[in-house]
Each structure stands twice: as structure tokens, then as C-alpha cells.
Amino acid sequence: MTTLATRRRPAPGGSTVSRPARSGASSVGRPGFAWALPATIFFALFALVPLAAVAVLSFTSWSGLGDPEFVGLDNWKTLIADPVMLKSLWLSLLFIVLGVVTQTPLSILLGVWAAGNQRNRAVLSAIYFIPLLLSSAAISVLWRALLDPNFGIPGQLSWLFGDGNLLGTQTGAIGVLIFVGMWQFTPFHTLIYQGAAKGIPPVLYQAAAIDGAGMVRQFFSITLPQLRNTAITSIILMVVGGLTTFETVLILTNGGPGTDTTITAFYMYQQAFRSFDFGVGSAIALVLVVVATAISLVVVKVSGYDKMNSSLEGL
Amino acid sequence: MKTRPNYLAGIGSFLWLLIVAIPLYVMISGTFQTRAEFGDNGPLSFPTSFTLQNYADAITSGFGRYFLNTLVVTVGVVAIVLLLVPPLSYAIVRSRSRAASFVFRFFLLGLAIPAQAVIVPVFYLINTVGLYDNLIGIILPTAAFALPICTLILSGTMRDITGELYEAMAMDGASPARAFFRLVLPLSKGGISTIAVFSALQAWNGFLFPLILTQSESTRVVTLGLFNFQTQYGINIPGLLAAVTLSMVPVLLVYLFARRALVQGLMGAGGK
């Protein structure tokens, strides 16, 4: 991306875009800020204001009835001493790592493969895509039915799955959740890799072919380096997705066995909407916000989303 | 460029295709079997009988109602998105005020605010304004959370409109509003249909907001219906599968018609 002006330090107003002065006609179609206001207010009302509110609520005790009551750091002290909270953070981390490790290589391979343009690939990609259309709820219900110890696939393939009660052990339950996550989200990541792989200039491959590089060599020396930025974006999306997995856990394992799959997002729901302890729930939510925002800042910095601003400079 | 066929990749892709397709096959074939047959023969067998009873059961258990509710939510969400996002993206792309570029960052950051993180205050808010257990109470936050990604997609499309076109309009002394309606909207049709499909999909598949913000049968949406169906009839697997299959029919239909808009929107997501 070429920019006309060099980047400057962010001004206090938050803008990093420096705009060369232009004259004359191009002032037409320069809408005022008012055009952005309705959407901004609407979004602030449901995202920004609640974000501030969740911080305030984390210092209160509230059961959903009556008014929240200020309790200082009590919720935070409870959480720090709570073994389930600590465990949930470890589990979230495990989910994130396993999700990235399983989905990334598969999506890259499938995406690069699908970027070729034979007709059969288009048809296959259309089938790959289907899980992405299903709701997490539908997918979870489907897999729970497929994995039913009595009527499902494991019972039929006992040589592979033993007694078939996959969701009855921690390893099995985590394995199932990771696998279902892969089943559900690989199509999305495949697509973004496919889009990026299509954008790699063919001349790079032609040059490599002339130098006698084989397909494997080309993949590692050209394809992978060219996909680097896409991979960063994709992985960060996986991280945020893994952090906030909810329906799948609720429907497939309900956090169990015991608390063995109670990841942080699910624990928040349990504390707030099952134990009606909205104060503690809010504190957990704030932990989620902090982690997700930290990741999002990395998204904006590293992936180049914010470079989109730079195309303003040419106007 | 000429390359040898990549057999290894072909085999790998075929294996993954099986992993994607077999569950879908079991899902659909299971719906046409009786419970007894499904239990006896197992999920991987071909159906020998052909019954539509499972679909009938799913429909009589309330799915018609759930579909209607989901449809209302989806239409509401898409309407709000289509009303708010185009002017916002227009301002982000064309406005020179610092505020507009700040707003863009604000929405980028909003991409990563998980709904779970704000669900408690949203619950409080919806309760306070008296929209608890009301479909409007689902529509509003769902639409709000669809805004960031839709804004990202549409402002990407709008950036492709060249300055010369605005200058041509300037000859006529057009106002920003006139440029918006005469130039920007017609030229962003592709992006607008992408965000419509996107937000519709998000609304149709939404789970958390309906789970937290509604409770009665009369406001239940399809995803919650599935969840509920499973808790109540967990052992009736063909019935469950029929419900799951029903829930995906409308989405598949939309996909058939709007595949291009959806796929291109997603392909652009990481390719920058």
C-alpha cells in the first residue's frame, strides 16, 4: 500500500492520518461527522456504555433484582481465591492454543489448494463451506447427537472410541470441543487463506520454477511467506473466537465433566445467569474484555487493518 | 502456470471433505428413519424405511413459531444495519474530520468486544427499558454487534469509488447527500448486499442474546428451540436431527442465491 504522506505520531484526537491539502472540486461528497452519528450512538449504547457499566458492576453485588450494591473489591478477592476461575483461564488458554494449532495448518493447506482454479475445487469448496452456515447451536446439537454413547457414531466404531462416552472424560470432552471447533471454523479460515493465496503474484512461482524449485520448496519459500499477514489476522481471529466459545460448551458439555471444560466465557455465564451473582459475573466479563481488547489492539497494529486509514490520505 | 497435479493435497482435501460430509449425511439420513430403526442400525447405515414423522414432530413442537420469531429478528437486524452502516461508511471514507477517523478506530476496536463481555449490562439495560422477553430486545443488541464487521466490509467497498466521480458530480454542485444517493449507494451495491447477507446470517444464528434476553415460548427463536429440544427430547435423536436440518434450510437457500456476496466478503477479511 503506498501512502502519500508519512505516518505521524497519533495526535491527541486519535487520528494518525495526515492529509495533504487539496483544493477545489473534491470538497463535494465530503459528508460532515453527522453522517456517522446515528450508528456511533447506537453502537456506543450497546457496546461502549455497557463496557463502562461492566467495570462499575464488577465492584457491586447484584442478584438481578433491586439495585446493585457497592462492595468494593469483594468480587475480585473472591475470583482471585476461586480455583475454578484460575482453572477456567488455563482451560481457555488450552482451547486457544489447541484451536490455533489444529485449525491453522489445515486451513492453510486447504486454502492454498482451493486457490487453484479447477472446476472440481469450486464444487468442493462449496461443500466445505456448509458448516460455516450452521449456527453454533445447530452444530453443537448435531455433534451431541452424533456422539451419543448409545445411538451415535462411537457406539458403532467401538474399536476406535472404546466405551464411546467421549464427553464423559476431560480429555474426551476437550478433544470433542476442539474437533467441533475445527469442523465449524476451518471453512472460514480456509476462505481467507484462499483469498490471500489467489493474490500471490504468479510470476513468483514462474521464477521459482525456472530456478528448478519443486512444489514443496515453492510452498515453503513463496506461499507461506506471502501468507504471513493473513496468518496473523486469521490466528488472532481464532484466539478471540476460542476465548469466547460459548454455545458449543453450553450444549455439548455444559462445562463438564465437573468443571473440566468450564472455560472463562462459560464461567461468566454460570456465575451471572445461573448463580445470579452479577457482580462476580461482571468481574469475569471484565477479564474477558481486557484479554480480548489486548488481542484486538494487536489485530489493529499487526494485521494492517488500520492501514486502511492510509487510503484516506490519497483523497 | 503449469504444474503437476498435486495428488497429496488432493487426497488430503478429499479426507477433509469426508469429515465435513459424513456428519451432514448422518444428519439428513437420520431424519428419515424411525427412532427404532436408527437405534438398531446405527447412524452410519442407509435408511431402509422413509418416514417424514420426525419433521412433523419437530414442526408440531413449535418450530413454526420459532421460525417466525427468528425471521422477525433477522429482518429487524438487517433493516437497522442497512439504515446505519452506509452513512457511517460514507462518512468514514469521505469525511475529512478527525472525528470520522476516530470513529473508524472505535469500530475496529469494537470488532473484538465479545458479546459475553457486555451481556450483563445489556441485560440490565434491556430490562430497565422494559424490552426483556420482547423480540425488539434481541434485535437491538444483535444489530449493534453486527455493525463493526459490516462497517469494515462496506467502507472497504466504498473506498473503491474514485475521486474523479465525485469531481464530476461537483460540476453540478451536488451536496454530500446528493452524492450519497446518486453516486455512493448505486456504486456500493455489492458491498451492501454482502453486509445484508452477513448481518442476516449473524441474526439468524444468534444464540447468546436470545438466551439471556427472552424466556417465554412466544419469543423463542430457532437456535434456542434447538437447545430446548435437546434438553427435553435428548434421546429422540432422529427428531433432534430433523430439527437441526429444518433450522439450516432457510440459510442454505439464502446461500444458494447469495453465495458470491458472502464468499467474497469473507475472502476479503484477511487478504488485506
Q: Indicate the pLDDT class of residue A9, thresholds 50, 70 and 90.
A: very low
> Measured between beta carbons, which residues in chain A are less than 8 angstroms from residue B7?
none
Angle between helices B189-205 and B135-158 (to 10 degrees): 150
The C-alpha of B218 sits at a distance from chain A's nearest C-alpha, in angstroms, of 19
Q: What is the structure's pLDDT at A26? A: 56
Joined together, the cell numbers standing for residue A95 give 482451547
The answer to whether the beta carbons of residues A5 and A20 sit under 8 Å apart is yes
Among B18-27, B129-138, B170-179, which range has the highest average pLDDT?
A: B129-138
Classify the phi-psi angles of A72: left when phi > 0, otherwise alpha if psi is within -120 to 50, otherwise beta.
left
Task: Say how many CB pairs under 8 Å bridge A and B.
Answer: 373
Answer whether B42 sits within 8 Å of A135, measured CB to CB.
Answer: no
Answer whether A146 sits within 8 Å of B26, measured CB to CB.
Answer: yes
Percent of chain A clearing pLDDT 70 (strictly above): 83
pLDDT of residue B177 exceeding 50: yes
Average pLDDT over residues A56-77: 88
pLDDT tens, position by position, B121-165: 999 899 989 999 999 999 999 999 999 989 988 988 888 888 888
Q: Indicate the pLDDT class of residue A107, thresholds 50, 70 and 90.
A: very high
Of B1, B13, B244, the CB nearest to A202: B1
> Measured between beta carbons, which residues in chain B are less than 8 angstroms from residue A141?
226-227, 229-230, 240, 243-244
Classify the phi-psi angles of A177: left when phi > 0, otherwise alpha if psi is within -120 to 50, otherwise beta.
alpha
- The DSSP bridge pattern shows strands A60-61 and A69-70 to be antiparallel
Q: Mean pLDDT, chain B, as a whole number?
A: 86
Q: Indicate the pLDDT class of residue A291, thresholds 50, 70 and 90.
A: confident
- Higher-pLDDT residue of A181, A168: A181
The answer to whether the beta carbons of residues B73 and A252 sit under 8 Å apart is no
Q: What is the structure's pLDDT at A262? A: 95
- A62 vs A70: CA distance, rounded Å: 9
pLDDT of residue A297 exceeding 80: no
Q: List the single residue in A with minimal CA-CA distance to B238.
A: A145
- Residue of A191, A236, A276 to mutate, interface with B, max B Cβ within 10 Å: A191
Where is A309: in which H helix or E strand?
A: none
pLDDT tens, position by position, A183-236: 999 998 998 898 888 888 889 988 998 988 888 888 898 899 889 888 888 888
Answer whether A46 sits within 8 Å of B140, measured CB to CB.
Answer: yes
- Residue of A1, A26, A35 to mutate, interface with B, max B Cβ within 10 Å: A35
Answer whether B251 sits within 8 Å of A307, measured CB to CB.
Answer: no
The C-alpha of B272 sits at a distance from chain A's nearest C-alpha, in angstroms, of 7
Among A14-18, B32-36, B114-118, which range has the highest average pLDDT?
A: B114-118
- Higher-pLDDT residue of A279, A148: A279
pLDDT of residue A2 exceeding 50: no
Q: What is the structure's pLDDT at B224? A: 94
Q: What is the structure's pLDDT at B4? A: 55
Joined together, the cell numbers standing for residue A181 give 471447533
Q: List the single residue in B with minimal CA-CA distance to A232.
A: B270
pLDDT tens, position by position, A132-150: 889 999 999 999 988 887 7
> Measured between beta carbons, which residues in chain B are less than 8 angstroms from residue A14?
98, 101-102, 105
Q: What is the structure's pLDDT at A29? A: 64
Measuring CA to CA, which residue among B58, B250, B246, B216 is closest to residue B135? B216
Q: What is the structure's pLDDT at A145? A: 87
- Higher-pLDDT residue of A176, A154: A176
Answer whether A46 sits within 8 Å of B144, measured CB to CB.
Answer: yes
Average pLDDT over residues A93-99: 93
Question: Max alpha carbon distance in chain A (Å)?
Answer: 77
The answer to whether the beta carbons of residues A255 and A266 sit under 8 Å apart is yes
Answer whether A109 sits within 8 Å of B106, measured CB to CB.
Answer: no
- Higher-pLDDT residue of A100, B61: A100
Q: Computed from CA positions of residues A55, A61, A63, A65, in that sequence, does the dihedral angle turn out positive or negative? A: negative
Average pLDDT over residues B8-31: 86
Q: Indicate the pLDDT class of residue A38, thresholds 50, 70 and 90.
A: very high
> Measured between beta carbons, which residues in chain A are less than 8 angstroms from residue B37?
none
- B75 vs B196: CA distance, rounded Å: 10
pLDDT of residue B1 exceeding 70: no
pLDDT of residue A271 exceeding 90: yes
Q: What is the structure's pLDDT at A174? A: 94
- Residue of B118, B182, B262 to mutate, interface with A, max A Cβ within 10 Å: B118
Of B144, B170, B241, the CB nearest to A43: B144
pLDDT of residue A115 exceeding 60: yes
